[in-house]
Structure 1
Amino acid sequence: MSSLTELTKSIQQGLGLAHKRDIAEVVGKLYGSHGLRGNPAPDAPASRTAERFSLHSHAERGNDVPVGDDCAAIPDGDGFLLLASEGYLNDFVASQPWFAGYCGVMVNVSDIYAMGGRPIAVVDAIWSDGAGQAKPILEGMATAAQVYGVPVVGGHSNLRNDRPQLSVAILGRAQKLLSSFAAKPEQQLLAAIDLRGHFREPYLWWDASTGAPPERLRQDLEILPTLAETGLCDAAKDISNAGVIGTLLMLLECSGLGGVIDINAIPRPSHIDLARWLRCFPSYGFVLSVDTHDTGDVIELFSLRGIACAAIGKTDDSGRLRLKAGDAEQLLWDLNSEALIGCGPNRQD
């Protein structure tokens, strides 16, 4: 097994975190770099708070919903509309067209559930060089829509492009939110991952979805809104291509926290190399920040569905994420000196 130093470096230098660092550049252009650091930029939207840009409700509740989570959350009546989208790399769509279409629905559905919601419908935008090139993409999307019970209700198509490209957006609704901005110091960090899958070689994609019983997949996802609505958890995020560690780093950044993670406590199949597992993108995987007295109940909910779930660390107010293995500890990221996605409170002011 790789040393903790080598594992830490591989995560720091991996493409997963590199892609997430791009978010800060985009956010800065949209909202103004000064606004992100706590002082509103001259042309910043008036709705942004001092420490984070937000969408304010016009209702009496005065909800303050931060931007930068798995979905945009728009206050609506007694709950929230959830809106998200995913775009896919050209080489992925070209080399894995059916799975790209499947992921277009699957990954968006995961984003909705990660925030305590339930999906309503998706729309897609597809480009291709002819109908033949689009066919497997659309077939994958149609399969996932049936598996997850989420209809494709419209979108955009262009069959006269020079290459296949795909993006998919989703609408959902939540009664109560799970959010990356809701973690608190001294909470337990949990990872819940469906280990009943396989790598889609040679990629870092852990597929526990295709071929699994659709009803089981849907009921497994229902755990997330149950956690939100019962008050067992307020903070969660779905594990993305940044891997379990990178996803936790984004959650901690949004909440203005730090923490320590025991990498050996992360659920994984016994035959899978740890270094590869820490960088993989699971089809069903969530990280959560939970009060200690609720941890057992949360783990049990996942366990009853056959989902591996374990406490893997603890939050603190340091702004520094450290990785631990036995008696060894390594600093992965210091958010006090360097943001990752640029959506958290500014710790330098």
Structure 2
Amino acid sequence: MSELSDLTRRLVATPSHDDETAAGAVVAEWLREHTDATVDHDPDGAGVVARKGDPDAADRIALVGHHDVVAPDAGQVTDDGAYVVEERTEADDTRLYGRGTADMKGSVAAAMVAFRDADAPCTFASFRGEERGGVGARHAIEAGFAPEYAIVGEGSTSYATPGVTDVVVAHKGRRGSTVTAHGRACHASEPDRGENAIYRASEAIEVVRSLDTPEADVLGVTQSGSLAVTEIEGGSGWNVVPERCSFTVDERTVAGERAALDAVETVDGVTWTVDQDLPPMACDDEWFADAVLAAAVDAQAGEPRHVSKPHATDAGWLAQAGTTCVVCGASEPGEAHTAEESVSLAVVERCARLYRDAVERVAES
């Protein structure tokens, strides 16, 4: 077993869905043992942030990930709460199975090794609370975390070509909203005495369905936003005209304009509330995107490309704060958050080479 696969196993085996402290401690202790970096582990703040070399030079380029995970499936945890980690060899590919293998402890381990091995000053961060809306990233930004460039190690493998690790130059954000229709209750036998909130909600849903969603072009990669009504709730009884009905809207956003969801409030008695707004990411520096792509080319036999990603990541928070980002990592589409979540150990090794090369290219420029 290689050093990197052993480190990945150790990270994956450490539970981190309810409390990331232990996983953060594994990251911090390994960095202190294997590097001469300044390592800060704040389990109630950002998570783990490490810098090596001159602090100003280290802020030129950062490798960024997160060590929290979503709650495991029943088959991914033992009766005493330990995470199940299993290695399987399938069609000449050895994969590690378990919660967090793909999202994203495999790439965190690769970034740790690359951080150690890179012959350049640089920064490493493994944030907490990414799965809860970027808690650690936002805490770090508020505390002054501001690298010029960042490679965020979320999944980018098999996006354009199976088995190839691409470089994401844009990803969507997510705005989650609640639309509430207010009416006046009455007995259902005399519906004209009330105002039916379900009917008003239905009108508002038609407004949502009629809205245009923006598009964005990022370094030649086009992304389109989307809107979907995902939940609805209303009514208090089969014989009562409802006085309230609400529904949720999942909006995937792109850099630039948002869908005009405030238009739902043109319907009488309807209000709109934003519950969550995870920002999109768009790389604003073609030179940086090309430098990481060149490192991806040298790290593998395939032909990586600049691509887009449908999921929000901490790159959105960093980009919003002024850091130029790309996303590049071992996870493949369909792996994260699943009962059979897994990652290719060969691709994890590839990402370690890719990250090290990219850091050195950017730091030396």
Per the TM superposition, whether the score is higher than 0.5 is no
Give the TM-score, by structure 1 length. 0.24
- The structure, 1 or 2, with the larger RCO (C-alpha pairs under 8 Å, 6+ apart) is 2
